[in-house]
Amino acid sequence: MANIKLENINHSYSLKTENNSWAVKNINLEWADGGAYALLGPSGCGKTTLLNIISGLITPTQGVIKFNDLDISNKLTIERDIGQIFQFPVIYDTMTVYENLAFPLKNKKFEEGFIKKQVQKISEILDLGSILNNNAKNLTVDQKQKISLGRGLVRPKVNALLFDEPLTVIDPHLKWLLKSKLKELQKQFNTTMIYVTHDQTEALTFADKVVVMHEGEVVQSGTPTELFEKPNHLFVGHFIGSPGINILPCEIKENSAFFLDYEIKKNVNIKSIKDKNIKIGIRPEFIHFSEIGIPVDIISVRYLGKCKIVDVVIRNINLKLVLNDQTHVPEKKAHIKFSEKYTYLYSNNYLVN
Amino acid sequence: MKFKWIIPTLYIIFLMLPIYWLLNMSFKTTNEIINTFSLWPINFTFENYIKIFTDSTWYMGYFNSLAYVLLNTILSVTAALPAAYAFSRYKFVGDKHLFFWLLTNRMAPPAVFALPFFQLYSSINLFDTHIAVALAHCLFNIPLAVWILEGFISAVPKELDETAYIDGYSFPRFFIKIFIPTITAGIGIACFFCFMFSWVELLLAKTLTSVEAKPIAATMTRTASTAGYELGLLAAAGSLTILPGAFVIYFVRNYIAKGFALGRV
Amino acid sequence: MNKVQNNKAWFFILPVIFLVAFNAVIPLMTVVNYAFQETFNNNIFTWQGTKWFENILRSERFYAAFGRQLLFTFIILLIQIPLGVFIALSMPKKGFGVSICLVLMSMPLLIPWNVVGAMWNIFALPRIGFLGHYLALLGFDYNFTQSIYAAWFTVILMDVWHWTSLVVLLCYAGLCAIPDPFYQAAKIDGASRWAVFKYIELPKMKKVLTIAILLRFMDSFMIYTEPFVLTGGGPGNATAFLSIDLVKMALGQFDLGNAAAMSLVYFLIVLLLSWIFYSVVMKGEDK
């Protein structure tokens, strides 16, 4: 078990290190021992690269990796004591389930008795006990994925377990079972787990802390609530939450922020905003109908069980509102109001404090 | 593992040595070949090549070879396409036995068939024509083409066929307009292998021809035995037979590995 | 894939059946004709029953050729398969090296077989050939037209040169089809290089290796042109493999009855051995 620290990690797959060729850049992260983390981002954002850097499958072009404050940047994968589970289950076809689980221990030259005890224990936890002597080749995908997981857990000392979109090929009804199993294991073993995914629900339900990546950079890292209530970057607002954040044009006049002609935030510190590219970001959940406020036309209302989504428009600018199903929606014309606390200004996509 | 590249390099050097020696010989005069040993031609000469390009028995040999090889490639792949489609998509009486029977023809030693082939093609007056060799080579090229194409076709989801029917395509139109373009890679690989096996085969080609359609490779053996030991000429002719193969490989190099991976293998 | 029962599919197969049957069945019938009958000119046949077969199966000549054939096939499989796997394993997986390797390694496969024989003849000639010259310099008494060992050495080296690339290409294609995570997982599990080969690469190559062995077995068993051009079967009958002996008998001595009977026996042996090998491997696959 270990606390993992990444310092100034940059990695490029090509030899030329021009600015735009970085697969991941400026990564500074700390993962506490025993935490459940998620790395969230769209495909191609560099999350798998980052994962492989931690496990040592990729040596980063620049930067330092520390386990428990010990620099392990130059250590081999096997010396790092990491478990990694891939998108597609990797099993050794010619071996039985038992041999598969025992494989990492055999390579580390543990005694036969210890291996047996350890495999027995893990197979029980993963409900693989009854098929230990079966050939691993003909199992179902979820069983195979459990074996890959087992090969990580079976070691007496695991610094971290890394998951690379492990549920992609699992049937939807088994996904949920396997996900709860993971969560349970995380509590039981108290191992640091890092879970890479592009699915916000998976990330937000699994992790205590979510790291959102975008184009090779970490744009925000925080609890699911923080990501929702105070997105640090417009990408986070857009990627997390459904529907995503409303992004609106903004004008600054005398310490106040205006949307069209309506003042929506007071006491804005202008000095800190020199850039002209300023946007307003407000989540649909934090806009309400009110007696006075911004006049809008209502386009449509969609009912989604416990809530409804209302599309409104003002001068060709579309906005979305999420209301709970009890709320009355006026017909055609209405006024809306933004909760000032959750209305944020973004300069060049980053939050302005 | 830093020196891993040494192994393929050594192997390639081993492969290239006889070819280099053939080229080396082809630029020497017969006199030089027999009397001295040298790693490169001392009296560099194009004489051997000039002879080949000016003597019609030589250059017609190339023409004949290319003619029946191309004819065979077209014939084999055209016939194999619908068959491979049928094997891949339908169950029918005797399908498995038929497939195995086709494959057994690859196992028939051509030497066994040499004489009967001669009699057969003589009796239908096709002896010494390009079409005779092209037809004879179908014996081993069609099974191969069916086998390769079946693999590629099975990799194409059946939904493609169904969608096309729903869209109102007739079968022939669907096959030509939609299906064939989706398996061009497979057709390319099949053509490549048909070309290759027809180009390198000699026993049947030699048996079925005498003058009019005589392949280049046969011209070589006959020259070797009749005109004494004209090694330089033989080397030049041999070097020229390597060219079409090298040319074809260069064009399909990216497909080869992919083809193996996607096809039957 | 679920296949649809449809007997009309036979129409798709007809051209293929016609072309192959024309080339396979009629000549085969001719061979069968010769094998059971005797003929002095083309029209009069007399029934001989199994006489020719008994002749062949009792003749030392057939067993000698068969023995040489088995030995040759065994040796080249023993060299080409491991060598091919080994070279495929050490080939680059990406970059410009891949194309170079593929193009250069495929070259021997695309040279007409008699040119291969002629090329090796020129290459191995004593005194004036590259191989002959340097082997003599190294102190070997090398002359493939006179010494049995030199002839076998040359024929085997030629076949290794000619066909190892086929094994390499097949194995390389098999290796390329292994997804990266398998190697990554092995690294994480701390597997040794040997374990990676034994538990990942070899099992994944099983199918291509079966095909490679089958092809090499069948083709080497039928080898004719290359050794014929290189050694002509000599010295003596030392490199007269089954096909060479057969053609000698049929065309050289015009002994059609014996040659036809031998052809059929020969064909059946290839068929039987291929079938046994294929079903053994496929049975192992199902378990």
Intervals of chain B under pLDDT 50: 226-227, 263-265
Q: Which of C187, C188, C192, C197 to mutate to test the interface with A (most CBs of A within 10 A)?
A: C188
Which among C172, C211, C225 is the nearest to B257, CB-wise? C172
Which domains occur in chain B, in start order?
55-223+240-262 (1.10.3720.10)
* In a shared domain, residues C148 and C8: no
* In a shared domain, residues C22 and C107: no
CATH architecture of A4-239: 3-Layer(aba) Sandwich (3.40)
For residue A269, is pLDDT > 80? no
* In a shared domain, residues C82 and C4: no
* In a shared domain, residues C255 and C113: yes
Over residues A85-135, the pLDDT tens digits come to 998 888 998 899 999 999 999 988 899 999 999 999 989 888 888 888 888
Residue A139 phi, psi (nearest 5): -80, 170
| Domain extent for C13 | 1-49
Which chains border A (3 or more CB–CB pairs < 8 Å)? C
CA distance B51 to B58: 8
Residue C253 phi, psi (nearest 5): -100, -5
Residue A159 phi, psi (nearest 5): -75, -40
Q: Any CB–CB contact under 8 A between C184 and chain A?
A: yes
Q: What is the pLDDT of residue A98?
A: 93
Q: How far off is chain C from A90, nearest CA to CA, in Å?
A: 6
Residue of C nearest to A90 (CA): C182
Residue C54 lies in a domain: no
Measured CA to CA in angstroms, residue A207 lies from A13, A38, A182, A186, C69 at distances of 29, 5, 11, 10, 67
Domain boundaries, chain A: 4-239, 246-351
Residue C55 lies in a domain: no
CB contact under 8 A, C199 and A95: yes
* In a shared domain, residues C36 and C131: no
CB contact under 8 A, A87 and C204: no
* In a shared domain, residues C219 and C168: yes
| Touching status, chains A and B (3+ beta-carbon pairs under 8 Å) | no
Report C:195-234 residues touching A (Cβ under 8 A): 195, 199-200, 203-204
Q: CATH code at C281?
A: 1.10.3720.10
Residue C282 lies in a domain: yes
* In a shared domain, residues C179 and C69: yes
CA distance B140 to B107: 8
Q: Any CB–CB contact under 8 A between B66 and chain C?
A: no
* In a shared domain, residues C65 and C205: yes
Intervals of chain C under pLDDT 70: 1-2, 39-45, 282-287
More confident of the two residues A237 and B35: A237
DSSP-assigned beta bridge partners for residue C38: C46
Residue of A nearest to C182 (CA): A90
Q: What is the pLDDT of residue C201?
A: 92
Q: Any CB–CB contact under 8 A between A52 and chain C?
A: yes
For residue A201, is pLDDT > 80? yes
Burial of C194 (0-12, 13-18, 19+ CB in 10 A): exposed
Over residues A131-174, the pLDDT tens digits come to 888 888 888 888 898 899 899 888 888 888 999 988 888 888 88
* In a shared domain, residues C19 and C74: no
CB contact under 8 A, C189 and A148: no
Q: How far off is chain B from C46, nearest CA to CA, in Å?
A: 18
Contact B261, C177 (CB under 8 A): yes
This complex has an ipTM of 0.86
CB contact under 8 A, A83 and C188: yes
CB contact under 8 A, B116 and C28: yes
Q: How far off is chain B from C239, nearest CA to CA, in Å?
A: 16
Q: Which of B242, B259, B238 is nearest to B193 (CA)?
A: B259
DSSP symbols for C79-145: HHHHHHHHHHHHS-SSSHHHHHHHHHHHGGGGS-HHHHHHHHHHHH-TTTSHHHHHHHHTT----TT
Q: What is the pLDDT of residue B81?
A: 93
* In a shared domain, residues C109 and C45: no
Measured N-to-C along each axis, helices C148-176 and B6-26 cross at an angle, to the nearest 10 degrees, of 130
DSSP-assigned beta bridge partners for residue A62: A10
* In a shared domain, residues C105 and C163: yes
DSSP-assigned beta bridge partners for residue A311: A300, A320
- What is A246-351's CATH superfamily? Nucleic acid-binding proteins (2.40.50.140)
CB contact under 8 A, A52 and C187: no
pTM of the model: 0.82
CA distance A48 to B66: 52
Work out the percent of chain A whose per-residue pLDDT is above 90: 12
* In a shared domain, residues C128 and C262: yes
